[in-house]
Amino acid sequence: MDDGTDRLVSVALKSIGCRTNQEEMVALQFRLQQEGFQIVEQISDADVIIVNTCSVTSFTESKTRRLLNSLSQEAPQAEILVTGCLAQQKPQELKNFKSVTWVVGNTLKAQISTILANKRGGIFHLSFDTDLNSFEQGVPSISPDEIGEGFRTRFPLKIQEGCDNSCAYCIVPSVRGPSRSQGLRTVLETASKAIDCGYKELVLTGTHIGQFDKANGGLLNLLEHLSQLSGDFRIRLSSLDPRDLSSSLISLIQTEKKICKHLHVSVQSLCQDILRSMGRPCDDLEKLIETLAGFREKTPTAALGSDIIVGFPGETDENFRTTCVNATRIGFTYAHVFRYSRRPGTRAADFANQVSEAVKSERSAVLRDLIEKSKSGFFEKTASEIQKIIVESESPVRGLTSNYIHVEVPGINMPRNTWLEVAVSSQKRGRFFLAKPFTEKVL
Over residues 188-207, the mean pLDDT reads 93
Q: Among residues of the chain, what percentage have pLDDT more than 90?
A: 66
| CA–CA dist 135, 212 (Å, integer) | 11
Residue spans of beta strands (DSSP E) within 219-333:
234-237, 262-268, 303-310
5 found inside a domain:
no
415 found inside a domain:
yes
| CA–CA dist 149, 196 (Å, integer) | 12
Bridge partners of 83, per DSSP, are: 52, 104
pTM (2 decimals)?
A: 0.86
Q: Where is the domain boundary, 364, 382, 400?
A: 382
Over residues 352-368, the mean pLDDT reads 97
Measured N-to-C along each axis, helices 247-255 and 218-227 cross at an angle, to the nearest 10 degrees, of 20
Same domain as 51, residue 82: yes
Closest CA to 263 of 235, 227, 284: 235
What burial class does residue 80 get, using C-beta atoms within 10 Å of its C-beta: 0-12 exposed, 13-18 middle, 19+ buried?
A: buried
Same domain as 145, residue 113: no
Same domain as 357, residue 274: yes
Over residues 299-320, the mean pLDDT reads 97
Same domain as 265, residue 228: no
Same domain as 181, residue 110: no
Same domain as 145, residue 110: no
| CA–CA dist 128, 146 (Å, integer) | 29
Quickly state the pLDDT bin for 442 (edges 50, 70, 90): very low
Query: Is 382's pLDDT higher than 90?
Result: no
Same domain as 242, residue 179: yes
Q: Are 299 and 339 in contact (CB under 8 A)?
A: no
pLDDT value at position 130?
Answer: 47
Q: Among residues of the chain, what percentage have pLDDT more than 70?
A: 92
Query: What CATH number is attached to the domain comprising 200?
Result: 3.30.750.210
| CA–CA dist 270, 233 (Å, integer) | 35
Q: What is the pLDDT of residues 383-416, one digit of tens each?
A: 768 999 999 988 899 999 999 999 999 999 999 9
20-34 per-residue burial string, b: 16 or more CB within 10 A, e: under 16: bbebbbbbbbbbbee
Same domain as 186, residue 229: yes
Same domain as 370, residue 414: no
Same domain as 299, residue 212: no
pLDDT value at position 19?
Answer: 74
Same domain as 432, residue 320: no
58 found inside a domain:
yes
Q: Are 394 and 414 in contact (CB under 8 A)?
A: yes
369 found inside a domain:
yes
State how many domains the chain has: 4
The SS3 of residue 368 is: helix
430 found inside a domain:
yes
310 found inside a domain:
yes
User: Residue 420 sits in which domain range?
Assistant: 386-437
pLDDT value at position 142?
Answer: 60
Quickly state the pLDDT bin for 443 (edges 50, 70, 90): very low
Over residues 322-330, the mean pLDDT reads 97
Bridge partners of 386, per DSSP, are: 423
Q: Where is the domain boundary, 220, 238, 259?
A: 259
129 found inside a domain:
no
| CA–CA dist 212, 183 (Å, integer) | 9
Same domain as 255, residue 172: yes
Question: Dihedrals φ, ψ of 434, to 5°?
Answer: -80, 145
Quickly state the pLDDT bin for 145 (edges 50, 70, 90): low
pLDDT value at position 428?
Answer: 85
Q: Where is the domain boundary, 199, 228, 259?
A: 259
131 found inside a domain:
no
Over residues 87-96, the mean pLDDT reads 93
Query: What CATH number is attached to the domain comprising 22?
Result: 3.40.50.2300
Sheet of 122-124: strands edge to edge? 38-39, 10-15, 48-53, 79-84, 100-104, 122-124
